[in-house]
Amino acid sequence: MSGTWVSDRSRRLRDVWRVYDAAVWDRWLAIVFTGLAFVPALSIMSVQFGNLPGRPADAFTIVLVLAQTLPLVVRTRWPAACLAINGAAFVVHETLGYPMQFGTVTIYVALYSVGAHQERYRRVIAVVASAAYVVLCVAMLLLGSPAVLSEFLVFYLLFAACWVGGAFVRGQRLQEAERRRLAAVAATAAERARIARELHDVVTHHVTGIVVQADATQFVVTSPDRVVTALSTIGGAGRRALAELRYLLDVLEATGESATPVVGSVRDLVEQTRSGGQPVKLVEDGDQPALPVGVGLAVYRVVQEGLTNAVKYAEGRPTTVRVGYRDDRVEVEVTNAAAAVSVGARSDLSGGRGLAGLRDRIGALGGELVAGEQPDGGFRLHASIPVGGAE
């Protein structure tokens, strides 16, 4: 189905653009944080951990700053590597007691990124990161840090909050992806059901007429005129079926548009059935308004289904088609007299899909469909469809 192929291709392009867009943003984020790390006025906003005695800045300080800010370039693509490099530089910076600098706040970004973007070994990374934090706290105390246990606990909770915040965002993103997947599955199932319904409507009516005419031809072999008429009807039904199927396949393979085969009018449909030997009477009541495409197709399909069933189960019996336009509704009714033979004699022609698919079609337009046997043994198919039904 070309529509599905186009949708999949569009989704892949969006995914590629999303990855590209994230890479661009990460690159700019690393550049911005690197620049801000060398602004002295922003050093008061840095992470001051352990309060070890300070030492003057030197060339190694620049290395540690870059090791904390530049890994942000890969924070979305390789979040665990980003945290490992950033965290190691942060630990060295704090344990050596270098002056405060704004670049240390990137530890929060790295932790958030792991929570939001890491796909595998999430629990292992969390355990390793927690163990590394305990080792850092012990090292700080051994190096003479005046910090108390409560301060270390507050920092741990702050670091954990960054991770949890990222995990929450990741969960929301996964839920949204799952919703999109389920919506795509539902749309695919609906499209398959619509195609199956259209194929049923297109094929069953014409093939039923062809089979009935072919079966009847063997009884009129002695009447050349009637044989010619029957063969002409068979040929016409076959050509119409091919035309509708060709359109349906062209739509599916070329454009990906909704599967809506070209159909004729109700009068043409009645005339075609009548020419096949079924006595059909058409009664139209009221002026036909401009109908939406979906409503017009539904009216056609109701009449088509009713006539097809009449030909299947009540061949040669009087059949009446009534189409009435009442205010904002279209009333369609197809009735036929009781069959001359039992229904079971023609059951091999029915696939059992017609009425179910038709009921779904009418229901989607806000209408109602009633079908059932009449007290006199005949059959009645009635549909009431709002003129303003959704297309």
If one counts every other C-beta atom within 10 angstroms of the C-beta of residue 5, the result is 11
* Terminal alpha carbon distance of the chain: 21
Task: Fill in the DSSP letter of residue 38.
Answer: T
C-alpha span between 29 and 373 (Å, rounded): 73
Q: Which of 316, 319, 321, 309 is nearest to 351 (CA)?
A: 309
Topology given in CATH for the domain delimited by 182-386? Heat Shock Protein 90 (3.30.565)
Residues 6+ apart with CB under 8 A from 381: 302, 305, 306, 309, 333, 334, 335, 355, 369, 370, 371
d(CA 351, CA 137) in angstroms, rounded, equals: 75
Going residue by residue through the chain, which has 391 residues, state the pLDDT in tens, using 9 for 90 and above: 444 444 555 555 555 445 557 788 889 999 999 999 998 888 888 887 877 877 888 889 899 999 999 999 999 999 999 999 999 999 998 888 888 889 999 999 999 999 999 989 999 999 999 999 999 999 888 888 888 888 889 999 999 999 999 999 999 999 998 998 898 888 878 777 777 777 766 666 667 667 766 766 666 666 776 667 667 767 776 776 776 677 666 656 554 445 455 456 888 888 878 877 788 999 988 887 888 878 888 888 888 888 888 887 888 889 999 999 887 889 999 999 887 655 444 444 444 567 777 888 888 888 899 988 888 888 999 999 998 755 4
Cα–Cα distance for residue pair 200/207, rounded to 1 Å: 10
Exposed, middle or buried: residue 71 (CB in 10 Å: 0-12, 13-18, 19+)?
buried
Residues found in the chain:
391
> What is the rounded distance in angstroms from the CA atom of residue 16 to the CA atom of residue 281?
60
Residue type, 140: M
SS3 for 144?
coil
What is the pLDDT, as a whole number, of residue 20?
A: 54
- Which pLDDT score, from 0 to 100, does residue 130 have? 93
Which string of DSSP letters, residue by residue, matches 183-213?
Answer: HHHHHHHHHHHHHHHHHHHHHHHHHHHHHHH
Q: Where are the domains of the chain?
A: 2-147, 182-386
Give residues with Cβ within 8 angstroms of 43, minimum separation 6. 99, 100, 101, 102
How do strand 319-326 and strand 280-285 relate by DSSP bridges?
A: parallel
Contact 368, 384 (CB under 8 A): yes
* The pair of three-digit structure tokens given for residue 24, joined into one six-digit string: 């661009």
